[in-house]
Amino acid sequence: MNLSLAAYSLLAWAAQPLLKRKLRRRAKAEPGYAEAVPERFGCYTPRDLGREAAGQWVWVHAVSLGETRAAALLIHELRAAMPGMRLLLTHGTATGRAEGRKLLQPGDIQVWQPWDSRKAVRRFLQQFQPAIGVLMETEIWPNLVQGCQRMGVPLVLANARLNAKSQAGAQRWSSLFEPTYGALRAVWAQTEEDAERLRSVGAPVQAVLGNLKFDVQPDAALLEQGKAWRAVSQRPVVVLASSREGEEAQWMAQWAGRKFHGVAGQCQWLIVPRHPQRFDEVHAQLLEAGLRVARRSQWGDGLPPTDVDVWLGDSLGEMPLYYAAADIGLLGGSFEPLGGQNLIEAAACGCPMVIGPHTFNFAQVSQTACEVGAAFRVLDMEQGVQLATALVRDASSLAAARQAALEFAASHRGTARATAQAIQQLLPYR
Average pLDDT over residues 177-191: 96
Specify the pLDDT at position 122: 96
Query: What does the angle CA 97 – CA 99 – CA 102 come to, to the nearest 5 degrees?
Result: 110
Tens of pLDDT, residue by residue over 309-358, are 999 999 988 999 999 999 999 999 999 999 999 899 999 999 999 999 99
Q: Check for a shared fold between 3-215+414-426 and 220-411.
A: yes
Q: How confident is the model at residue 56 (pLDDT cuts 50, 70, 90)?
A: very high
Active site residue 67: yes
Distance CA 325, CA 247 (A): 21
Q: How confident is the model at residue 55 (pLDDT cuts 50, 70, 90)?
A: confident
pTM: 0.82
Q: How confident is the model at residue 261 (pLDDT cuts 50, 70, 90)?
A: low
Whether the per-residue pLDDT at 3 is higher than 90: the answer is no
Distance CA 273, CA 26 (A): 17
Bridge partners of residue 355, in order along the sequence: 377
Whether the per-residue pLDDT at 264 is higher than 70: the answer is no
Of the residues 30, 35, 39, 67, only one is catalytic, namely: 67
Specify the pLDDT at position 262: 52
Q: How confident is the model at residue 202 (pLDDT cuts 50, 70, 90)?
A: very high
Q: What residue segments make up the domains of the chain, in order of their start?
A: 3-215+414-426, 220-411
Q: What is the mean pLDDT of the chain?
A: 93
CATH class of 3-215+414-426: alpha beta
Specify the pLDDT at position 259: 55
Q: How confident is the model at residue 257 (pLDDT cuts 50, 70, 90)?
A: low
Q: Write the CATH number of the domain with boundaries 220-411.
A: 3.40.50.2000
Q: What is the radius of gyration, based on Cα positions, of the chain?
A: 22
Q: Judge contact between 248 and 274, C-beta under 8 A.
A: no
Whether the per-residue pLDDT at 2 is higher than 80: the answer is no
